Structure 1
Amino acid sequence: MNKKKSFALIAAFVVLVIIVLLPNPESLPVAGQRALAVLAFAVILWVTEAVSYPVSAIFIVALLTVLVGLAPDMENPAELLGTKDALVMSIGGFSSTALLLVAGALVLATAMELTGLHKRIALYIMSKVGTAPGRLVIGTILVSFVLALFVPSATARAGTLVPILLGMTAAFGLAKDSKLSALLMITAVQSISIWNIGIKTAAAQNMVALGFMESEFGIDFSWGAWFLYAAPWAIIMSVVLYFVMTRLIKIDESNLEGKGDIKEQLKALGAMTIKEKRLIIVSLFLLFFWSTEGIIHPFDSTTVTIIALAYMFIPKIGIFSWAEVQPKIAWGTLIVFATGISMGQVLLATNGASWLSEKSFEAIGLTTMPLVMMIAVLALFNILIHLGFASATSLASAFIPIVIALVVGMGETAFNGPGLVLIMQFVISFGFLLPINAPQNMLAYGTGAFTTKQFLKSGIPITIIGYLLIILFSATYWQWIGLL
């Protein structure tokens, strides 16, 4: 470990101890204060990469278990919560269906790699789009948009795109950690996050927020209305993404020349194998059932994915064996993602997240601010608190009820309260800064195609521009069309 990382690790522990030792506010349970201390510790580790993500996950689980376990029980303050119960909370994310979906997507990506289908698809796409880096970036963004129309899972869309992009890199004879791989992989997951906002059915967190809003306000936003409100923002951000990525990671096009004609390479692959054909059928099966979830069948995306995986492991008629798959799965990615979900769940259960939000709003006099300023402050807080959540669904569960309570508490207002809540839900999907902030980010990060620093360098301008665009839309477009 170098000096910089050693210093970051020490700083993380110092911040942790300071927050734990601060006087406990009356309205915040001791367990909540300690959960917030672990959150601060985790964010420092994630931003600085003082240790690897899987190691940080082990630290987080251990600290949550001990610190929260030795805190007074919130229902019976005379007794300690106990490390056994705290451990159950600290590993709660490992029972999340979202974790299974991430695991399924990783296995599907491995199937693409083992059969070579990802390379065949990649070569076909390149034969149509072209091999210039800028054109490949445009193609990646367009594919991300089209998939968002039909597949109600960001992780599933990433599971479809990641192996194809790896195939593109392989077709040029470049390594997984090459600049081209980083360019395409980061573009893909950032585009997925953008269209999580643009399309109502693109992400689970949107459904969570709409459920809260229907319960409180008795209203729902149709698919078309959501698209009218959010798609213009997403279209502009897609253009922004293109310029950010093509300028952030510059590819020497001479390195892409002389690699052979794409159509010739496609022809050289020969006839499609039986396993490739089976995988195509499985992929179409998944895309169909993902895109029609709740419309023509009752199966959720995770269940459908597990059924597909079960088939792929069947001897003789399946696609691969466990021995082939096991070495290629990034198990550390799954551990980190589950721990991130656990972190959010503990913050919710100990009232740490709600206390932090409520006290922050009260301290800055949010309710007395002009509408656009209120949105600017709420959106900024939303973006910052997202640093501690691996699941936007968990963040929506924590943050949206607080925003609804804020709107309801203000009584009669000159603006449309539900519209303000919906805008905050848009910002929930701002998972642009760290790999840990979204499952699709973690899935791509698990391939080793890019570093946290590369991702952060793309995420900072995208987040800033996206945030400013939220403010601009709040002052103009969303008021013009009646959202606010």
Structure 2
Amino acid sequence: MSTLVHAASDSTGVSTRKFLTVLIALGIMIAIIMAPSPAGLSPAGQRVIAVMTFVVLMWITEAIPYGVSAVALIFLLILALGFSPAGNDPGTILGTAKAIPLALSGFSNSGWLFVAAGLAMAASITSTGLEKRVAYLILKLVGTNTHAIMFGIILTAFALTFFIPSVIARAATLVPIVIGLIEAFGLPRSSQIGKAMLLLAGILPSVTGVGVLTGAAPNPVIVSFLTGAGQAQLGYVDWLVYLLPYTVLFSIGLYFLATRLFRFEFAELPGGSEYTTARLAELGPMSATEKRASFIMVLTILLWATDKIHHVEASAISVLCVLLLVMPGVGIITCNDLYKRIDWNSVLLFGAGISMAEMLTRTGGAAWLSKVAFVESGMGRLSVTALAIMIFVVVFFVRFCFTSITSCLTAITPAIIGFLVSLQNPDLPIVGIVLGVALIAQCLSIIPVTSAPAMIAYGAGGFTTRDMMRLGLPLATVMYGLIVLFMFTYWPLVGLWK
């Protein structure tokens, strides 16, 4: 009974803290709205900044669920824009009727369509078991040496990136496979082998995802931000050329750190290849559903890769893929089953987040924030290299404030783009700097709470936060070292850096 009372007391305490957090955040939002408008900032921009402040605090503290924060964001945007002056006439307000399509603009954005389709694709593919077959085939291919298995986990993560366009879904696929491998050694998950493998499973989904345009939800959203700011449209192949080599080298660095920082108990998996053979035998022959899923995904990847030839946007191709996946007689899942498997909270969050970013840009809020944060601080007077490095350092610290990579990039990217555009420097590699920000946000892996895949792996109980820091801190050094290396070598060659 005392345990139940204690648990109820803890729950009440958490609820009270969250309630107080929401009240404080609302108070801050209202204070920003009521404050005198600074020079150069429109009333609408000021109110959108106030709404953004409230929502970002909700994302950082997780005082309310992400799905709830998305609905709240849409409602608050309607009010903020609806009761703001329409155009240059301070005596006329826009009205909530005209504000509704503006607050929902993110849901008509190609980046949101890409994300929603990607979540549907991930839910469809994981319903077939195809991803597990791909993973075990790769592990069987690389052999049963412990270092080879570690390499196999990396290959598996890259392969799954092309089949499952969802970071969380890949982590949910990879972690159980890794747990099975650890158990095959007859060791606890907290063993040296167990820690290293689980850390790889928690870090890799985000790392491999940033190397492929369809590999992580923030990627197409960033493309939308850049296009909206007048930058060139990035295609599927462009993204691969710019970032995939980086993620490959970063993963090699991760492999060397993991295999040297942890002293493995065995050099060879007991039972050898019998383990992976047994797992494949359990899956049985490849089903007709898996074959159809494979064909649809290969076709989709080919269409993504040849977008420069047929000129069909990647988001439209993703919609075609979803259509094929649910089409009777051709597909692999019914619409009802797909509906139950999709994470609708994420769908709402991405759409609302894009709406916020677009309104921040349209009202001049992003430009004003960038001016205050970067221009007036003197960063705009730095050389291109020094400016890029300073932005990357700022992103490093800001990243710890967010438990969601997508929330972090959605919140900070518009302000960074606005600042870079405001400098009006033709020699400034705006796309390159923004992609560098994406690399840092998605590759930074120091504590579990800053990414969902790391939390999924952490939930398996094999490693501690200290274990992750032991690997993550030197890995952060590798991350920045590679970025600087690419700034002076590879990226200028492919036209990303000047």
- Contact 2:70–2:349, Cα closer than 8 Å, also in 1: yes
Question: Quick check: 278-287 or 468-477, which moved more?
Answer: 468-477
- Report the CA distance shift for 1:479/1:396 in structure 2 as closer, same or farther (over 3 A): same
Q: CA deviation at 1:173?
A: 11
Question: Is 2:416 the counterpart of 1:403?
Answer: no
- The letter for the 2-side match of 1:121 is V
The aligned residue for residue 300 of structure 2 is 286
For 1:195 and 1:362, locate their aligned partners in 2 and report how far apart those are by CA, in whole Å: 31
RMSD of aligned residue pairs (Cα, Å): 5.2
Q: CA deviation at 1:235?
A: 5.0
Structure 2, unaligned stretches of length 5 or more?
1-13, 184-193, 446-450, 462-466
The aligned residue for residue 6 of structure 2 is none
- Report the CA distance shift for 1:215/1:344 in structure 2 as closer, same or farther (over 3 A): closer
The aligned residue for residue 7 of structure 2 is none
The aligned residue for residue 44 of structure 2 is 31
Match of 1:61 among 74, 97, 110: 74
Deviations 1:26-85 (A, max 9, x none): 200111112112222222211221121111112222222222322222443221122223
Question: Quick check: 161-170 or 260-269, which moved more?
Answer: 161-170
The aligned residue for residue 332 of structure 1 is 345
- Contact 2:172–2:456, Cα closer than 8 Å, also in 1: no
- Report the CA distance shift for 1:337/1:114 in structure 2 as closer, same or farther (over 3 A): same
Q: CA deviation at 1:402?
A: 3.8
Match of 2:285 among 247, 268, 271: 271
SS at match of 2:442: coil
The aligned residue for residue 191 of structure 2 is none
Alignment of 1:84-123 (within 5 A): 84-123=97-136
Structure 1, unaligned stretches of length 5 or more?
409-415, 436-440
The aligned residue for residue 323 of structure 1 is 336
SS at match of 2:112: helix
Question: Is 2:58 the counterpart of 1:45?
Answer: yes
For 1:43 and 1:248, locate their aligned partners in 2 and report how far apart those are by CA, in whole Å: 36
For 1:37 and 1:213, locate their aligned partners in 2 and report how far apart those are by CA, in whole Å: 22
The aligned residue for residue 72 of structure 1 is 85
For 1:64 and 1:345, locate their aligned partners in 2 and report how far apart those are by CA, in whole Å: 11
- Contact 1:119–1:167, Cα closer than 8 Å, also in 2: no
Match of 1:165 among 171, 174, 180: 174
SS at match of 1:340: helix
The aligned residue for residue 364 of structure 1 is 377
For 1:190 and 1:445, locate their aligned partners in 2 and report how far apart those are by CA, in whole Å: 12
Alignment of 1:442-481 (within 5 A): 466-467=479-480, 470=483
* TM-score, L = length of structure 2: 0.71
The aligned residue for residue 412 of structure 1 is none
Alignment of 1:145-184 (within 5 A): 156=165, 158=167, 161=170, 165=174, 168=177, 183=199
For 2:17 and 2:353, locate their aligned partners in 1 and report how far apart those are by CA, in whole Å: 24
Identity of aligned residues (%): 27
- The letter for the 2-side match of 1:316 is G
- Report the CA distance shift for 1:391/1:173 in structure 2 as closer, same or farther (over 3 A): same
- Contact 2:150–2:197, Cα closer than 8 Å, also in 1: no
- Contact 2:203–2:454, Cα closer than 8 Å, also in 1: no
For 1:330 and 1:427, locate their aligned partners in 2 and report how far apart those are by CA, in whole Å: 26
- Report the CA distance shift for 1:125/1:31 in structure 2 as closer, same or farther (over 3 A): same
Question: Is 2:391 the counterpart of 1:378?
Answer: yes
- Report the CA distance shift for 1:420/1:50 in structure 2 as closer, same or farther (over 3 A): closer
Deviations 1:449-477 (A, max 9, x none): 899xx999998986676457646876999
- Contact 1:54–1:335, Cα closer than 8 Å, also in 2: yes
For 1:141 and 1:303, locate their aligned partners in 2 and report how far apart those are by CA, in whole Å: 30
Q: CA deviation at 1:428?
A: 4.3
SS at match of 1:261: helix
Q: CA deviation at 1:8?
A: 3.1
